[in-house]
Amino acid sequence: MDTHILVPLYLALLASSLCFASAGDIVHQDDKSPKRPGCDNNFVLVKVPTWVDGVEDIEYVGVGARFGRTLEAKEKDANKTKLVLADPPDLCQPPKFKLNRDVILVHRGNCSFTTKAKIAELANASAILIINTETELLKMVCEANETDVHIQIPAVMLPQDAGGSLRDYMQNSSQVSVQLYSPERPLVDVAEVFLWLMAVGTILGASYWSAWSAREIAIEQDKLLKDGSDDFTHGEGVPSTGVVNINTTSAILFVVIASCFLVMLYKLMSVWFMDVLVVLFCIGGVEGLQTCLVALLSCFRWFQHPGESFIKLPVVGAISHLTLAVSPFCIVFAVIWAIHRRDSFAWIGQDILGIALIITVLQIVHVPNLKVGTVLLSCAFLYDIFWVFVSKLWLKDSVMIVVARGDKSGEDGIPMLLKIPRMFDPWGGYSIIGFGDIILPGLLVTFALRYDWLTKKNLRAGYFLWAMTAYGLGLLVTYVALNLMDGHGQPALLYIVPFTLGTFLTLGKTRGELKALWTRGEPDSPCPHVQLQSSQSQ
């Protein structure tokens, strides 16, 4: 394997550990409780802007309880109210002082959520804020034996760090005021539309480049065969394709090693480890951007000569003059992104580097037949489900979502994903998709177009159009599931794999071509398109 493709392949492997998730996925269930009278609210995120001694301070995010009065949806309708600290802190007993329609801040534990809320209401509180014992938010539900709950004040849970900050202010004799309101999230944000277009467009572009390259290689080999080249018949003088074909064993190992990387990320996630990932992403992004720019510029007559003339450099070896000219720009671009990666506009540079890397990987790595594609995607399907859902039972966390969010890293997420800010969402955040959710199904889609071109099938009679449509629909269903699940991260391959792989297998079986797709797939050299045509006529 050529050394220049090791970093992109490594990053593709690492990226396969990511799931499709929304940056607003911060709510986790505390307990299961059926809805009943007085305990049938929907769980909603709550904005909690604060003022310390009259000066506007941090805005925190909480989650509303299953019980209690619902909150206003608009900021202008929410009252600015004084916050007081409960005494006793857990409010499992009536407070030692009477409230004047204040919001009371209490600690979680020692009695039920509804007990705390009832005591606060009797003490004339206007709302209750409960500090969680963890940095995440948990949904507050009613007790299993409570059949009829009548609580007329809102109850909101805050994460441990937010509640601790407010408590510290009040213990230092500062006066704190808060507002509580819960703006509604749009059903569909325009960011999701653009992200869908980016994912589909990336696979579309990579497929046509991969198919065009495969056809050019086939034509070149055909010419060598017709010329009767002795070097060609002995396997010499054949143009180097730079392509890596995955076999069944490597497809299984791909997912096994990805699991090891995922666990390593989960265990070692920190500021320094994130810096390592940023450096690796920049190296892969530079390689991908350089490859894409050289290929694009080579299409123009003015750049053909620099692209075909080479210079030999120490360590690097032979490199074209065009590549040499493009490299400084790619390096500077990646360095600027790395320096400004925490800025609000950094997602643009991350997406450019990411798309270039994905296209390069799909150009380099090929699935040679449907058998390998089926094994790879089936393993990835089970892998996604395990690390999103089953890992909660083992490690008490959804490992994939923790890694995707970049918890404990000081970042908004690891860089191996495409992201777009949610433009019309009052909660902000990003819609994101992991590289693996594009690369893995993309390997099958690019295989489909190469097969169609080398067998001279038109769009309707071929497999690419149907595979591309299936991927788009699978990704669309992922968005629907994401919204139906209140923004909880979803493993995109759970929906994409049945659509793409199922469509391919069904279509091949219906057309009677499944055996050829399964065992041979892409034709063998020399002269692949001639061999395929002859095999079909037999």
Distance, in Å, from the CA atom of 309 to the CA atom of 324, rounded to the nearest integer, reads 11
Count other C-beta atoms under 10 Å from residue 250's C-beta: 15
Distance, in Å, from the CA atom of 1 to the CA atom of 7, rounded to the nearest integer, reads 12
- 4 exposure class (CB count in 10 Å sphere: 0-12, 13-18, 19+): middle
The active-site residue, picked from 102, 351, 384, 425, is 384
Distance, in Å, from the CA atom of 501 to the CA atom of 124, rounded to the nearest integer, reads 60
222 carries an active-site annotation: no
Beta carbons within 8 Å of 256's beta carbon, 6+ residues apart: none
Q: What are phi and psi of 119, to 5 degrees?
A: -65, -40
90 carries an active-site annotation: no
Structure tokens at 302: 């003015």
Classify 22 in phi/psi space as left (phi over 0), alpha (psi -120 to 50) or beta. Answer: beta
Distance, in Å, from the CA atom of 491 to the CA atom of 498, rounded to the nearest integer, reads 13
Structure tokens at 481: 């599931």
DSSP labels for 65-109? -SSSPPPPSSGGGSPPEEEEE-SSTT-SS--SS--SS-EEEEE--
CA atoms within 13 A on the CB side of 59: 12
Classify 462 in phi/psi space as left (phi over 0), alpha (psi -120 to 50) or beta. Answer: beta
- 267 exposure class (CB count in 10 Å sphere: 0-12, 13-18, 19+): exposed
Beta carbons within 8 Å of 135's beta carbon, 6+ residues apart: 159, 160, 161
The active-site residue, picked from 25, 425, 437, 452, is 437
Contact 207, 451 (CB under 8 A): no
Q: Please identify every residue annotated as catalytic.
A: 384, 437
